[in-house]
Structure formats: C-alpha cells, structure tokens
C-alpha cells in the first residue's frame, strides 16, 4: 500500500507516465521533472523564555520557464523537503493548466505554530524571510499563504522584504491583508474555483438537475468552507463534513450557517445538533453523489477508494488521492476533477492580486469573482473536452495539457549554456 509520505514519489511516477504519453524528449523531460533550485535554511529565534531554538525551513523552486515562481508557505511539524518539492511540482502544473504566467514553487517551515506565541511566530517568519531573501521578489518568486500561514504572515513577509529594499514592495507576496494591497475575493478563491470546476464537470457528465445532489466534504478550512456555503446556496445537499477533530453526518443535509456558528463557538464540527458523529473513514464511504476531499494529501488510498460510492470527486486538496487509489477509482468509473484544476482558483486570484499590485489599480470583489469564474469555466471545459477527444481520464488530460505547456516553453527558451 502506498504511504502518505511518498506523495512526491507518486507525483514523479505520474510525471513520467504523462511524459511517456506525450512522447516527451528526454532532454526536456530532465529539465522539467526536477526542481531548478532547493534551499534549506536554519531559522534560529529567541523564545519567550530566553532560549534560542532553531527550526528547519525550505524554499523549492520547481520551474520558471513560463514566468516567476509562485507558491505558498506551509508551517507544520511534518513538513520536509520532499513534501515541499512535491507541492512545488504540482504548482508548476497548476499554473500551466490555469494558463497563468507563473512557474511553481513552495516553501515550508518545520514547526508547530500553535505552540508558539505571536511574538515567537512573527520572529520565525521574519527570520525565514531573511534566509530565503535571495530567491524571492515580485519578478522572481512570489510566496502566498498555505497550511499554517495566513494574511498576517504575508504582511510580515512583505514588510521584512520591503525593509531590505528601502521601499514598499507589495507584490512580493499574495494573499495579503486588503489594507496593504491584498485582493478582494482572495480568501474564498480556492473554494469558489473548486465549485465552478465541479459544476462544469456535472455539465460535462450531462447531470442537469443539481438540486438535491448529495455531497460529503473532507475538511473545514479555507477551501471547504466556501464549498459548503456555495453548494448549499445552489440547492445541493451537503450531508457530511469533517475537521481535524472529527466528522458529522445527517442524511437530510446540514445547515451551513448553523454549522459554521457551531464550529466558531466550539472549535469543532463534532456534536453538531441533529447530526451523527462519525469517523473520518466513514465520511469517504457514504452513499453520496459527490465527494470533495479538501484537507490533506493522501487521504484516499487504495483501501478507502474501494469503498467510495460517490460518482464524482472534486479534489479540493493537493494530491488527496494516492496513485493506487486512482487506479481503483478509474476502474469504478468515478469521474475526478483533478487537484491541479479543482484547486487552482487560489493561484488564479493570487495572479490577479499580483497584477493589481504591479498596476496599483484595484478591482471590486465582483470584478475578481467574475474574472475567476470565467477563467475556471474556460480552463475546466478545455480539460474535459481534451480528455474526451484523447480518450484519457480528466486527471491525465489536465496533466497532459499542463506538462505540454511547460515543455514547450522550455523548448522555445533553449538550454543555456550548451
């Protein structure tokens, strides 16, 4: 059975498989498969009790053939170089399939930010920023929030970078607070984009009546919450949802507003009135039409995939299905909206934020949401139509479109020095 920690190995296997399908030249394959740069840094900070503690951090730039690198920063105890490299690779493909002029990068710090004071956390972020300073900049590599980071963290990074430049440089990060150049609509963008891609998949499958379709959502973060709210507004029935502490189920559907209020008051979805508490594994096996894994990588392996009853899976998280899990789902004819498509809304609106920063011209939330929807509709249709024409899965189709774009940019630019 494939382990969650070998997600990068799965991604590399998928890369080679798609490269074979495309007949990719060996020289291009070598130059597009591996990260162009990986920096490991030591991050010493003074703790509140006077001790000095050192943390490990990374910034991995996978590819920059199509433009500056782009990707979030994760702060988590389980972060390592391979996981960061994996996510950087997926970011390259995500930006390419979304047809935005970025390459892929990711950052990570191995720490439990929940155990740090605000001052310690800020010191950690600012020192990390200083250590990766040679790599980042609005025309080089633009970080963003990810697991364990948020708009405030981006503000600290932007300020630290700006202090070293002697001027304000807002475009060095995206996902910032609105008051210092953040974009309206950015926080909900990944979830909103996931919904658009899901709805386009239902049209592609000729499922015309979406009202009453049942949905189970793994996760309760920045991706899952907008998915929950928007799907309920559209008349779909979210019957189960989970967070890090548990999961709840009601076959008659959940009230999104009351559930969010319960989560805010208690810190968990558990014990929500009118629902049954279930374990995480049960959520995946429920008799629903749609499953949205929007939490962590590798949550659906072969064993879990064998018991999935959903007809459609929209991958809100990065790589939520393992390689052996995909094989099972394809045999069961489950339609998958792949992660590099389904969760690309965040990087698309990050691109919008970056453009607004460079132009010093800011858009309304409606402008941002409308642009995002048009982009997601066009990208989704391109992926689904290509998959149908080439008789491959939607996942393979998305990877083929993305890798072909990256490979062509690499070929056109040439190799220096020769």
- Bridge partners of 58, per DSSP, are 40, 108
83, 94, 106, 176: the catalytic one is 106
Catalytic residue status for 265: no
Length of the chain, in residues? 418
* Strand 246-249, strand 335-337: pairing: unpaired
Q: Of 155, 160, 136, 153, whose CA–CA distance to 71 is shortest?
A: 136
d(Cα 382, Cα 384) in Å, to the nearest integer?
6
**CB within 8 Å of 303: residues ≥ 6 apart:** 1
Using DSSP bridges, classify how beta strands 246-249 and 103-109 pair: parallel, antiparallel or unpaired.
Answer: unpaired
Q: Give helix 323-331 / helix 7-22 axis angle, nearest 10°.
A: 60
CA distance 182 to 244: 28
Three-state DSSP at 77 gives coil
Query: To the nearest 5 percent, what fractions of the chain are helix, strand and coil?
Result: 50, 15, 35
HEC sequence for 194-259: HHHHHHHHHHHCCCCCCCCCEEEEECCCCCHHHHHHHHHHCCCEEEEEEECCEEEECCCCCCHHHH
Q: Are 249 and 275 in contact (CB under 8 A)?
A: yes
User: Of 266, 268, 306, 267, which Cα lies nearest the Cα of 285?
Assistant: 306
By annotation, the residues acting in catalysis are 106
């Amino acid at each position: 059975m494939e382990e969650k920690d070998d997600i990068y190995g799965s991604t590399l296997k998928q890369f080679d498989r798609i490269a074979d399908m495309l007949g990719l030249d060996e020289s291009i394959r070598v130059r597009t498969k591996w990260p162009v740069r990986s920096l490991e840094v030591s991050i010493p900070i003074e703790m509140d009790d006077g001790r000095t503690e050192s943390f490990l951090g990374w910034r991995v730039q996978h590819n920059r053939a199509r433009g500056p690198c782009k990707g979030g920063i994760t702060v988590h105890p389980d972060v390592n170089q391979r996981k960061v490299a994996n996510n950087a690779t997926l970011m390259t493909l995500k930006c390419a399939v979304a047809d935005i002029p970025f390459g892929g990068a990711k950052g990570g710090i191995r720490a439990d930010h929940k155990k740090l004071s605000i001052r310690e956390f800020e010191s950690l972020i600012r020192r990390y920023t200083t250590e990766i300073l040679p790599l980042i900049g609005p025309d080089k590599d633009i970080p963003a929030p990810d697991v364990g980071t948020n708009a405030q963290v981006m503000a600290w990074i932007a300020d630290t970078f700006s202090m070293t430049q002697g001027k304000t440089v807002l475009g060095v990060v995206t996902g910032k607070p609105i008051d210092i150049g953040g974009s309206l609509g950015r926080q909900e963008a990944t979830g909103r984009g996931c919904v658009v891609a899901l709805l386009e998949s239902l049209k592609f499958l000729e499922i015309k009546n979406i009202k009453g379709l049942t949905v189970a959502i793994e996760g309760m973060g920045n991706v899952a919450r907008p998915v929950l709210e928007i799907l309920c507004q559209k008349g779909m029935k979210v019957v189960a949802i989970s967070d890090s502490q548990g999961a709840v189920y009601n076959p008659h559907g959940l009230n999104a507003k009351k559930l969010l209020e319960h989560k805010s008051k208690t810190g968990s979805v558990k014990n929500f009135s009118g629902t049954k508490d279930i374990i995480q594994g049960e959520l995946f096996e429920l008799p629903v039409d749609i499953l949205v894994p929007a939490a962590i990588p590798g949550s659906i392996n072969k064993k879990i995939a064998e018991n999935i009853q959903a007809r459609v899976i929209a991958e809100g998280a990065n790589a939520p299905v393992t390689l052996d899990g995909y094989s099972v789902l394809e045999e069961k004819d489950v339609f998958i909206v792949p992660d590099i498509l389904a969760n690309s809304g965040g990087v698309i609106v990050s691109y919008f934020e970056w453009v607004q920063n460079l132009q010093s011209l800011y858009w309304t939330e409606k402008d941002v949401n409308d642009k995002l929807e048009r982009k997601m509709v066009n990208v989704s249709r391109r992926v689904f139509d290509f998959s149908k024409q080439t008789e491959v899965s939607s996942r393979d189709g998305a990877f083929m479109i993305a890798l072909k774009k990256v490979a062509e940019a690499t070929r056109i630019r040439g190799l220096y020095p020769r």
